[in-house]
Amino acid sequence: MRTARLHEPGQPLRIDTVDTPEPRPRDVLVQVKACGVIPNMHAIFSGRLWNQLPPLPASVGLDATGVIAKIGSEVTDAAVGERVYVNPWLACGSCPYCRAGEPLLCSAAAFQGYFGFFPHSVRQMLDYPFGGFSEYITASPQRLVRLPEQVTFEQAARFGYLGTSFAALRMGQVGGGSTLAINGVTGTLGVGATLLALAMGATRILGLGRNREVLAQVKALAPGRIEVLALGDAPIADWLRGYSGGLGVDVLIDCSARGAAAANTAAALGALKRGAVAINIGALTEPLAIEPIRFMTGRLQFKGSNWFTTGEGQLMADMAGAGVLDLSKLATRAYPLAGINEALAEVQKRPGGLINIVVNPDR
């Protein structure tokens, strides 16, 4: 089979031919139909960050969707032909966190086809050595999200970032009546948070971003419920309070990218309603100045959220299947496997969160 492999950090991926894997007795083999291409990949594959790359050359690709092609001899709850999204989150199952039922806190966590969070995460990446930019990958049945027929492979290839936003919105208990602010609303995470918050019943969504063209597209998703502000056009906290009855927002989802200015996040924190929660799902690295006394007197929270469970992935799939979650606004740009490096270059141009860049390894 063909697979895109990273041979050297910072260098283009190469399309190599390798043996098609056989699933282990408790695994499945998935024929990949689409795999998402996301903004962070270029930085991860540079090898210059803290992330632990898999042993090189490494087959890569994070958000794979496809059809089950073969099942291991001991697999009972999966069948050949099922349409699935493969949650790439690898939890070891035996560390203190996993034993306590907290796989997202796993102390050996890794992403199949992407990176490990710790040096000893490598063991798990070796168990599942193929990434989604391959014609086939192996996976465990516990990590499969079943896709309703209404959800395309290309839409589901966006589930990684969508799920990250979804888990944060659930952490913030967003629902009917919620007033929500999203900092970085024009990016991949921000647009996903907007689509999901609409589906979850948020009454008002206040988006902050820079790209005016994409801000207008976000506003157009639900003009009666969404307001947008181009950063710099008005003081952030005043603007947020103006659209939230003067009280402030119930939830702030911060999607700020690695190089963003922490000052914008700090300003948005100034518009939290008493009892509100701010949840970070971005990669902001600049230190953030807060006034702890405000968090005490207002009973405020600042939390982080990373990825999502397979159960949450299934909730999203079912919401999309029932028409509650509208993924039709995502505009797919699909590349064949041979175009993987062009796809990675395009996502670097930050075309905006409604553009969904995927690779179809069967082309």
Residues at the interface with Zn ion (CB under 5 A): 91-92, 95, 98, 106
Q: Which lies closer to Zn ion via its Cβ, residue 122 or residue 324?
A: 122
Cβ nearer to Zn ion, comparing 118 with 302: 118
CB of 110 to Zn ion, least distance (A): 10
Nearer to Zn ion, 91 or 196 (CB): 91
Note every long-range contact of 106-111, with CB atoms under 8 Å and residues 24 or more positions apart, other chains counting: 110/52, 111/62
Q: Measured from the CB atom, is 99 or 299 closer to Zn ion?
A: 99
C-alpha–C-alpha distance, residues 198 and 50, integer Å? 35
How many Å apart are CA 162 and CA 354, to the nearest integer?
A: 12
Q: What is the C-alpha separation between 339 and 181, in angstroms, rounded?
A: 36
**CB 102 → Zn ion: shortest distance, Å?**
8
Comparing CB distances to Zn ion, the nearer of 91 and 359 is 91
Partners of 16 in the β-ladder: 3
- The set of residues, in sequence order, having a beta carbon less than 8 Å from that of 246 and lying 6+ positions away, is none
CB-CB contact of 269 with 124 (8 Å): no
Give the shortest CB-97-to-Zn ion separation in angstroms: 5
The answer to whether 185 and 194 have CB atoms below 8 angstroms apart is yes
CB of 125 to Zn ion, least distance (A): 14
Neighbours of 72 (CB within 10 A): 17
Shortest Å, Cβ 254 to Zn ion: 27
